Structure 1
Amino acid sequence: MIGAGQAGLSAAGQLLRKRLRPNEDFVILDANDGPGGAWRHRWDALTFDAAHGIHDLPGMPLDPPDPAEPASRVVARYYGSYERELGLPIVRPVRVESVEHHTAPTENDGKAGHFTVTGADGRTWRARTVINATGTWDSPYIPYYPGIAEFNGRQLHTRGYSSAADFAGQRVLVVGGGTSALQFLLQLDQAGARTVWTTRRAPDWADRFFDSSWGVDVEASVSARTTMGLPPLSVVAATGLPVTEQYLAGLTSGVLISRGPLRRITPTGAVLDGPGPDGGAVPSQGHVADALLAPGGAAAGGLDRVPALTGRACTAVSTEDPLTTWETEVDTILWATGFRASMDHLSPLHVRERGGGVMMLPDGVSVVKRPGLFLVGYGASASTIGATRAGRRAAVQAAAASHPPQSGHL
């Protein structure tokens, strides 16, 4: 198994229940120095109460932590306890460089062939099956925009963010439509930064409660793409943005109002194509929040006029469309534009389709082009609840494909 995050640990627990023996029948290779998966790299300002929760690992509920404690510490401690309690055979740090498949039969592998997993340090492991649970943290995505290379200020991705205090007094353009962008905007505003939010389309505020049936619907929606070999959409594209009291306050103040899509970047700022800084009309970005959280519509009946961007230097751009485009000076661009699946090490297996996706079987974990390879934390299982369920399914499939257990399974 490759990866020791939520999906990998869930799969490992299921392998134990299937009576596979640690170190003899399976091992877990983890690139991190300690437990926690991608969570151990999250910024300290992301407290547990702001992290939208995590799903319990199988057989070990998470004791309610201090909601103000950084989520990175809570999860690292929780995952570490799970690893110790189950006696999981985790080898770390091991960064996997490549996974290859050999079809030539051997004495132990019979006609099935085997996988060879090679670490960056040159160590190798051989296995009949591979459960890949590497997630997305190591593959940050920054889209291309004209002028991106000429910007004179600082640019950083979510992966490099540490503290809002680093941006106090700065003008910060936050790019992206997901929950990370929302958290950054609120933290930056509180820390004294002046923010502008840009999204490709109007924010998708969800008008339903995020319950268990919602999670099932999201998984079904994402699975419909992966079974066709299409790349998974972003998480927010499948879920929408949850409306909370905290986000409602940001909507009302204007901090969580998208100022339109980014058109291009200049050496000192950015050109946006949207409602502009003057509070121009926006197709009701706040109506969902009002409907859900304002008793009787008490919050002025919706944000018919968007609060203006005060204190920013903004000018119309005459060279384009002066009626819609405008320019704002910024010191920093924060790319909250998400991640892609970390699967470069699987390149020798040639499992990607022409469009970049991986065609999956309806179980959501089995790869059509490479029997014996299982992906968890990919597509529908990118959330913690999805990762837990997918980990169990992958372990069941891997144990069955490897029966009777002889050589190691990863």
Structure 2
Amino acid sequence: MTQQADVVVVGGGQAGLAAGYHLRRLGVDFVILDGQSTPGGAWQHTWDSLRLFSPAAYSSLPGRLMPPQPGEVYPDAGHVVEYLADYEKRYALPIQRGVRVDGVHRDGTFLRVETDAGSWRARSVISATGTWARPFVPAVVGQELFAGRQLHTTGYRRPADFTGQRAAVVGGGNSGAQIAADLALAGIDTAWMTQRPPRFLGDDIDGRALFDVATARRHALEAGRTDTGGVASLGDIVAVPPVRAARNAGLLSAREMFTELTATGMRWPDGTWAAADAVIWCTGFRPALAHLTPLQLRGGRGHIATDGTRAIGEPRLHLLGYGDWTGPASATLIGVGRTARDAAQQIRILLR
């Protein structure tokens, strides 16, 4: 059976909900298709100790402030999931869950969205699938020989899972620093490897300041001024309290990346070796865009060329929430609202 809506939003996480909020305000007919069975997007799959970088009020989607979490300055992932579930109910967003989108196809004046629950015809599609479903693990010599456990950030939950083991954490971003700190503070024998020396932001910088920096960069680019470099110019790691505690206790010293895995450990270019029972790859993600393959739009680095959120090669398609290439800070709770609003306004004009 083929159903129809003016707009199909693919993905029911924070970006999809922000899109739904603005489409509803504009009176646009739409549906949100989400592959997960419960609300919360990627937030329902993170590690136990994860906290936001910002207080609740600075981590909100459009139209509804996130309430503070009792006893916490920086809310945990569970609180975010509760907020997102309440958000979609509050605005009665039309979400169909447990629906996997297999492909988006051109179909004359429509885009045809094929799913495991039937087809949809839409005049416009918003892709808001994020990156969590596409973890990236770099190729390393000897990787297939390592007899221990290898997992990505997506598979890490808690230090207790590594009791009595020697853990190697790879990655110099926020995830790598937070997971290395989580393990080390729990007494797990932890080694932390990064491609370059870790760059910590000032202890007084949290998500509020980062959003201001990203906004200033956007204004500079829109005005044709010199690129300020945005958040990347300040550093790579937000010194959230556990990271700060581990660093100050001397438990968070990074060493250079190893070049080879052996059956029982890691080897460096100078021939030194260290034992490891588990390797946790905190090495980032790629945009989850397989459902857009039929449109043949991908360019370098797997990205689709966009003007703002609109795909240059298919103006009926918008991409929302994948990072700075689809809008400054668009992969954050507070940042996705602006680009969602812009996408919804452009779609309303297209539908006239």
Scaled by the length of structure 1, the TM-score of the pair is 0.74
CA gap of 1:262–1:238, structure 2 versus 1, over 3 A, is: farther
2:99 is equivalent to residue 94 of structure 1: yes
- Structure whose CA Rg is larger: 1
Alignment partner for residue 128 of structure 1, among 123, 127, 132?
123
2:299 is equivalent to residue 353 of structure 1: yes
Deviation at 1:217, TM superposition (A): 4.6
> 2-side partners of 1:348 and 1:164: how far apart?
42
2:323 is equivalent to residue 327 of structure 1: no
- Mark the runs of 5 or more structure 1 residues left unpaired by the alignment: 105-112, 224-234, 273-319, 404-410
- Give the aligned length: 326
> 1-side partners of 2:37 and 2:338: how far apart?
26
Q: Which structure: greater strand fraction?
A: 2
Over the aligned positions, Cα root-mean-square deviation in angstroms equals: 2.6
Residue aligning to 1:263: 259
Equivalent residues of 1:262, 1:270 under 8 A apart:
yes
Amino acid at match of 2:106: H
Residue aligning to 2:6: none
2:215 is equivalent to residue 216 of structure 1: yes
Amino acid at match of 1:183: Q
Equivalent residues of 1:2, 1:28 under 8 A apart:
yes
Q: Deviations over 1:75-129 (max 9, x none)?
A: 2211111111111110111111111112x3xxxxxxxx1101111x241100010
Equivalent residues of 1:179, 1:236 under 8 A apart:
no
Q: Deviations over 1:179-225 (max 9, x none)?
A: 111121121123221000001111122358451431225668999xx
Amino acid at match of 1:71: D
Residue aligning to 1:390: 339
Residue aligning to 2:27: 19
Deviation at 1:38, TM superposition (A): 0.7
> 2-side partners of 1:114 and 1:341: how far apart?
24
Question: Which structure ranks higher in relative contact order (CA pairs < 8 Å, sequence separation ≥ 6)?
Answer: 1
Residue aligning to 2:228: none
Residue aligning to 1:370: 314
Amino acid at match of 1:200: Q
- Mark the runs of 5 or more structure 2 residues left unpaired by the alignment: 1-8, 223-230, 325-329
Alignment partner for residue 44 of structure 2, among 23, 40, 44?
40
Amino acid at match of 1:249: A
Residues 75-86 of structure 1 correspond to what in structure 2 (within 5 A)? 75-86=80-91
Q: Secondary structure at the match of 2:342?
A: helix
> 2-side partners of 1:101 and 1:90: how far apart?
23
2:67 is equivalent to residue 63 of structure 1: yes
Q: Quick check: 79-88 or 145-154, which moved more? A: 79-88
Residue aligning to 1:311: none
Q: Deviations over 1:143-202 (max 9, x none)?
A: 101011100101011111122111012100000111111121121123221000001111
> 1-side partners of 2:18 and 2:81: how far apart?
15
CA gap of 1:219–1:200, structure 2 versus 1, over 3 A, is: farther
Deviation at 1:237, TM superposition (A): 8.2
CA gap of 1:359–1:67, structure 2 versus 1, over 3 A, is: farther
